[in-house]
Amino acid sequence: MKKQIVIGVSGGSGSGKTHFCREFAKMSERKTAIIHADHYFKKELPKMISPLTQKEYDDWNSPESLNYENLLSDVRTAAAEESGVILVEGAYIFIYKELREMMDLKIFVDTDIDLRLYRRIKRNMELFHMEMDEIAEYFTESAKFQEEIYSAPTKIYADLIFNGAKSFDIPVRMVQAYIDSILGF
């Protein structure tokens, strides 16, 4: 019988990926580890030119921004050592075939862009003490375009797609039932 299950949780910035993972861990009776792709950003980020303004930005919103090898190594280690559920969450995790193939279940949290921008502004003002104008400018001139290129198309790899604007109570229970069917209860 399988000892652990690896679940990928993807979606655009502010879609509710982290919130889903936290809700899952809180409601789960199984040991749950969460690996956040955001913890694997490179120290030196690639640059991108805004298609709107031609302004150069640090690119926090492309797969090249992540230290993929370290992320993959940590997921492998957790999968070999942990029992229970390993949640891997990040906007671009489904791009990587080798990582996708390690996942027993792939979830895409789909949320309207206006709500995602609102959440990103709120989060970045609270966590990083950024100004609203700075956050909105970066999102509309950079992040939005990169997500359309790199994150949104990976929705095709998802086994389940949830609406990130609604409560995660039902999706969490669905995923728990699926896990129980694989790991046994």
Domain boundaries, the chain: 4-183
Tokens of 14: 């502010």
Per-residue pLDDT, 83? 77
SS3 state at 23: helix
pLDDT at 26: 96
pLDDT at 4: 87
- Under-50 pLDDT residues of the chain: none
Residue 181 is encoded by which pair of tokens? 């069917």
pLDDT recorded at residue 1: 56
pLDDT reported for residue 162: 96
Task: Express each pLDDT in 71-108 by its tens digit.
Answer: 999 999 999 987 789 999 999 999 999 999 999 999 99
CA distance 121 to 139: 9
pLDDT of residue 2: 67
Strand partners, 107: 9, 160
**What is the structure's pLDDT at 182?**
86
131: left (phi over 0), alpha (psi -120 to 50) or beta: beta
pTM: 0.95
- Candidates 103, 15, 19, 101; CA nearest to 61 is 15
45-80 core/surface letters (b: 16 or more CB in 10 A; e: else): beebebeeeeeebebbbbbebbebeebbebbeebbe
Alpha helical stretches, state H, 28-112: 68-81, 97-102
Give the whole-angstrom CA distance, residue 109 versus residue 155: 9
> What is the C-alpha radius of gyration for the chain, rounded to an integer number of angstroms?
17
Taking domain 4-183, whether its CATH number is 3.40.50.300 is answered by yes
